[in-house]
Amino acid sequence: MGSHRTKITNNSTFRVTIVKIVQTLNSPKNSMNPHESNIKETATASKQWSSWQENFTLIAIALTLALLIRTFVAEPRLIPSESMYPTLHTGDRLVVEKVSYRLQPPKIGDIVVFQSPPELQRRGYDKNQALIKRVIGRPGEVISVSQGKVYLNGQPLQEDYIAEPPNQPFPAVTVPQDGFFVMGDNRNDSNDSRYWGFLPRKNLIGRATFRFWPLDRIGLI
């Protein structure tokens, strides 16, 4: 009988212990309040969304700056031909700055990048195709070619940058207002103002200033 009572007592004690454990687990201290859970989930989602917004904003700003710089300040260009040899070679990559010609006109000797002039467009060139040549004459100046020399206002130009002297004469012409006379440094292999006329100032894109490729010839032009 005593043994039976002991078993009953032990069983009762066990049940009481189990009940206390269950109550403890179900107590407010050990359970997550649904409201608190929602708040934490919302906060996490908000942080993630804020991070995405920040990244998208930075990307948008970077793209906008790149577009503005390319449109108004400078852009890279690839040399497609040997018309400016030996100064520039096919495959050279340049930086073309676009600011200076908004403030002042090109100077004699500047290497300029420009859109196809009207005469070349009539011959089938795309109007947005970019070409590169050297400025030889400005508005009001007289240009001619005779006996392998280029003359500016009756005086021969000292041109240590050309591949070879021009082998064909060119009659004297006066550069019109808002126009320029341009030639390639590879005088006998250049399609320039001798063949398609004057370059309108409005067609100018900018001035070639820096070669960044190839690396063994990197530097100012």
Listed by start position, the domains of the chain span 2-71, 79-220
d(CA 165, CA 190): 12
Q: For the whole model, what pTM was predicted?
A: 0.72
Binned at pLDDT 50, 70 and 90, residue 174 comes out as: very high
Residue 185: pLDDT above 90?
Answer: yes
Binned at pLDDT 50, 70 and 90, residue 176 comes out as: very high
Binned at pLDDT 50, 70 and 90, residue 47 comes out as: confident
Catalogue the active-site residues.
83, 133
d(CA 206, CA 68): 15
Please write the tens of the pLDDT for every residue from 11-34.
Answer: 444 454 444 544 544 444 444 455
d(CA 109, CA 3): 118
Per-residue b or e along 13-40, where b marks 16 or more CB atoms closer than 10 Å to that residue's CB: eeeeeeeeeeeeeeeeeeeeeeeeeeee
Cα distances (angstroms) measured from residue 123 to each of 112, 119, 120, 149: 21, 6, 5, 29
CATH for 79-220 is: 2.10.109.10
Averaged pLDDT for residues 98-126: 96
Tokens of residue 112, six digits: 């300029």
Averaged pLDDT for residues 153-166: 97
Residue 49: pLDDT above 80?
Answer: no
Q: Which amino acid is at 14?
A: F
Q: Is pLDDT larger for residue 10 or for residue 184? A: 184
